Structure 1
Amino acid sequence: MNELSGRVALVAGGTRGASRAIAVELGRAGATVYVTGRTTRAGRSEVDRPESIEDTADLVTAAGGKAVAIRADHLEADQVEALAKRIDAEEGRLDILVNGLWGGDRYLGWGKPVWEHSLEDGLRMFRLGIDAHVITSHFLLPLMIRRPGGLVVEMTDGTAEFNAHYREGTSLPYYVTKANAHLLAIAQAAELAAHDCTAVAFTPGWLRSEAMLDHFGVTEETWRDALEKVPHFAISETPAFSGRAVAALAADPDRNRWTGQTVSSGQLAKVYGIDDVDGSRPDAWRYIVEVEHAGKAADTTGYR
């Protein structure tokens, strides 16, 4: 598991969820992983959850990797610039940038049209999910282009095909924020091409994140209890599935074949032969389109 030995990664917003698992799996594969976020053991961000960047760093270390936890608000340009300077001083390079910055769940306003949605909350989502990503790329990509073969991963929610149409029941600010990752991947792929670097957008499937498990009142061990209320949750996957997929992508010498595209955990799992922790291989987005949104009864046969 040393495919990424000698590589340096930054997982921005690696406090929890898929981004945390990606940090762990990059470390397991040998990379030195810098983990940033706003929640530390000394204080929480506006997300107000207990997971911290130090917790993520400890998980990376437990997996056999090397981790450095740094508190940084990626909306503050001076903090991101200082982060870039620190990584440059300590490592002199950056090979993998995972842009998992978000923290906007409290502002969702599901089902409200834009004229009813809180303007303040909507603009905050844009700041957290778009501005923070651009600020991060502005300061960190100069480190990446020093060497060929770099990888940028813009975290999103939904495939490009799925997000080509507005999601009924969601909200305009959320939809625009998440769909923006597809454009970031396209644009950064074009700008990084001359430096032989790859940029993709990446989406997990229906993620059993810490917040999602809490929402359903279950744990990872008891998650199937949630199927009584939401049967289609049967297609859900662990954050580790995303971590394994991104680590495999980062280790692929031919990863540039994906540049400018949006890829999913299920899609990469097929290509790289990856399974979730239970040995299954969920293909969530195909299931969501072909089963859930088609109005069929929950049945994951052929989808995991």
Structure 2
Amino acid sequence: MSLAGQIAIVTGASRGIGRGIALQLGEAGATVYITGRKPEHSHNTAVGLTGLEETAEEITKRGGKGIARFVDHSNMDEVKSFFEAIDKDHQGQLDILVNNAYQAVTVILENVGTPFYETDPYIWDTVNNVGLRNHYFCSVYASRIMVKRNRGLIVNVSSTGGLRYLFNVAYGAGKQALDRLSSDMAVELKSKKVCVVSIWPGAVHTETINKMFKNEDGSRKEGTVKNDRAFRKGETVEYAGKGIAALAADPRKMEKTGKTLISEDLGKEYGFVDIDGTTPPNLRSVNSILEHLGWNTTAAFIPEWIKLPGWLVWAGTCRL
């Protein structure tokens, strides 16, 4: 599974899933450009410059080449200039784009449980400017480079929030739109041999999630048993990255274009486990779904390998 010689971009890679994806692409040998805001534009200045540069250094240590670039993904002029520089510096080569940049984690967590009509309507822009509009712009500029070479992979990091209510109205609308963006772009890019997919990671142990559910010594905080049920067996930040790296190296990846992929399904197909040696639950696993609903006793009798077919998951959440 070598990506040596390939040029990749992972947006929003200072930490979390973006960082994990970038590390795995680098481990496979790719040159990986990672983007993030400058410290003064970041909600968490402790990450800022240090986080982005540390990620780039770790990519290089793992065998790839990490290059940090500060890009404010709420500023489309900066986004355009960034892609123009990639095009020029690599003579029109771009093999992989992973749209992961997101700026709404904090505001989403602060407003969980508050009805949309009691929330400042500008939360829509906070959630969907970088998390959706920016992804469209990045995909346009990346596609202009990729179609000239008749090859490429665009991955949009999405979630099950595109299926049914999760967190708030703006979040779900944005994620469903992102999945539709992937499928529709795939229609127009198929003849150009550019593969476009959405990926749904499961519950992921990001830095933010760990702060919510764990004490400094790593023990679970009291009173969070119900809320952290999905995360006890969750993925590391690098598991989805393993799947994307495997997909990028797959000569038959065009067979998946337009699809929404689940990280654990990729693990089964390509034969890998998480970096901690575990196999995270599948979002389609009946066992995991029942556990998430709090039906632990029933779930204990159902093997984790029993899964709902994808078509049934979609059919069960259709709105007529």
* Superposition TM-score, scaled by structure 2 size: 0.84
1:256 aligned to 254, 257, 260, which one? 254
Aligned partner of 1:123 in structure 2 is 125
Rounded to whole Å, the distance in 2 between the matches of 1:227 and 1:255 is 44
Give a deviation string over 1:28-87, Cα, whole Å, max 9, x none: 1111111111145xx451355526221211121121110111101122222112111211
Identify which of 200, 209, 212 aligns with 2:206.
209
Q: State, as a whole percentage, how many aligned pairs show the same letter.
A: 31
> Is the CA contact 1:151–1:199 (under 8 Å) kept in the aligned structure 2?
yes
Q: Residues 223, 25 of structure 1: CA spacing in aligned structure 2 closer, same or farther, 3 A cutoff?
A: farther
**Separation of aligned partners in 1, 2:64 and 2:140:** 27
Structure 1 counterpart of 2:168: 171
* Equivalent pair of 1:205/1:265 in contact (CA under 8 Å): yes
Which residue of the partner structure matches residue 7 of structure 1?
A: 6
Residue of structure 2 in register with 1:25 after alignment: 24
- Counterpart in 1 of 2:156? 154
Preserved CA contact (<8 Å) 2:53 2:68: yes
1:221-275 CA distance string (max 9 Å, x none): 9366789733443221101111111111111111111111111111111100110
- Cross-structure match for 2:36: 37
2:191 counterpart residue number: 194
Would you say 1:184 and 2:186 are equivalent positions? no
Q: Greater CA deviation, 7-16 or 123-132?
A: 123-132
8 Å Cα contact 1:224/1:234 also seen in 2:
no
How far the C-alpha of 1:195 sits from its partner, in A, is 0.6
Cα distance in 1 between the residues matched to 2:27 and 2:127:
32
Task: State the 4+ residue runs in structure 1 displaced beyond 6 angstroms.
Answer: 223-228
For 1:69, give the aligned amino acid: A
Alpha-carbon distance change, 286 to 224 in structure 1, aligned in 2, over 3 angstroms: farther
TM-aligned CA distance change 1:49 to 1:134, over 3 Å: farther
Q: Distance in 1 between matches of 2:119 and 2:12?
A: 26
Match of 2:244 in 1: 246
How many residues matched?
A: 295
Shift of 1:149: 2.8
Output aligned runs, 1:76-87, within 5 Å.
76-87=75-86
Which residue identity does 2:178 align to in structure 1? Answer: A
Separation in structure 2 between the aligned mates of residue 69 and residue 269 of structure 1, nearest angstrom: 28
Greater mean deviation of Cα atoms: 222-231 or 290-299: 222-231
Shifted more, 48-57 versus 124-133: the winner is 48-57
Select 2:273's aligned residue among 272, 275, 280: 275
Report how far residue 294 of structure 1 moved.
Answer: 5.9
- How far residue 303 of structure 1 moved from its aligned partner, in angstroms, is 3.6
Q: What is the TM-score normalised by the length of structure 1?
A: 0.88
Task: Give the counterpart of 1:235 among 233, 247, 255.
Answer: 233
Match of 1:106 in 2: 106
State how far apart, in whole Å, the 1-side matches of 2:94 and 2:143 are. Answer: 8
Post-superposition shift, 1:136? 1.2
RMSD over aligned Cα, in angstroms?
2.4
CA distance in 2, matches of 1:73, 1:228: 34
- In structure 2, relative to structure 1, the CA distance for the partners of 1:301 and 1:237 (3 Å cut) is farther
1:54 maps to 53
* Residues 26, 66 of structure 2: 8 Å contact kept: yes
CA distance in 2, matches of 1:97, 1:232: 29
SS of 1:236's equivalent in the other structure is: coil
